[in-house]
Amino acid sequence: MRVLVTRPAGQQQALMAMLAAAGFEPLYQSALEIEPCEPDARARQCLMNLDQYHAVFLVSTNAVRYGLAALADYWPQWPVGVHWIAVGTATARALEQAGLAALAPDRDFNSEAVLTLPVLQQLAEKKILVLRGDSGRELFTQTLRERGAEVDRVTLYRRACNAAFQWPPAPLDVILVTSVESWHCLQQHGVPEQALLVAGSARIGAAIDAAGYGNLIVAASPHDEDMVACLTKHLRTR
């Protein structure tokens, strides 16, 4: 089966290797491009005040990449006492590769799961820094503020549709969709009706379903392991 991976450039290799190992023919075409944002004066002040935060939440591996690069301009050594929180295993691995102990949920890998971490329960008079892209859900920030935290958010990158996107010439059996933004970009090119879509979360699946596309299954998370597991389980049981 021919399976199209649509992650941004540089984030597709592990997923394609897993697909090949599972017996699929992986193809690649990025739906999104990731572009860095220059922090404004307020954002730079937040980065300079890193040691004042109870915790730093990084919403993706891109947030780790751009966030740690920006922080390194001010912090040749990381301050002690800051909790580094990752949305999932890939983000946690990226932090740990930089020498930072990461906290992450054991399952689900979304804002709801992160909010169950013990370190985010008693937050009165504590500050939280969120390192993120130019869009995202408000649930995390809203919930932390309801728990008494002061939350600062720094935008480090923006997502844009890949202007060079083209569907592969041969028919596709499966398309992996790992974000709502990438789904909107794919829609612009007319999604092949015969292809099975694997959505990386219920939220992504809802966006696809709202567009009237019914050939859909939903993975537990957009992480590589969950996407491949969802596809293989579906094929075994259909």
Domain residue spans of the chain: 2-31+162-237, 35-159
3-state SS assignment for residue 126: coil
Q: Which CATH class name applies to 35-159?
A: alpha beta
pTM, two decimals, is 0.82
> Distance between CA 51 and CA 175 in Å, rounded?
43
3-class DSSP assignment, residue 58 = strand
How many Å apart are CA 57 and CA 228, to the nearest integer? 27
Residue the block writes with tokens 């709502």: 180
CA angle 54, 59, 62 (to 5 degrees): 120
Among 84-93, 141-150, 226-235, the least confident range: 84-93
Express each pLDDT in 123-149 by its tens digit.
Answer: 999 999 999 998 777 889 999 999 999
| Identical fold, 2-31+162-237 and 35-159 | yes
What is the CATH topology of the domain spanning 2-31+162-237?
A: Rossmann fold (3.40.50)
Mean pLDDT of the 115-130 span: 96
Tell me the torsion sign for CA atoms 191, 195, 196, 200: negative
- Residue 54 confidence (pLDDT): 98
The answer to whether 82 and 75 are in contact (CB under 8 A) is no
**What confidence category does residue 193 fall into, taking pLDDT thresholds of 50, 70 and 90?**
confident
Q: Return the closest-CA partner of residue 177 out of 32, 14, 36.
A: 32
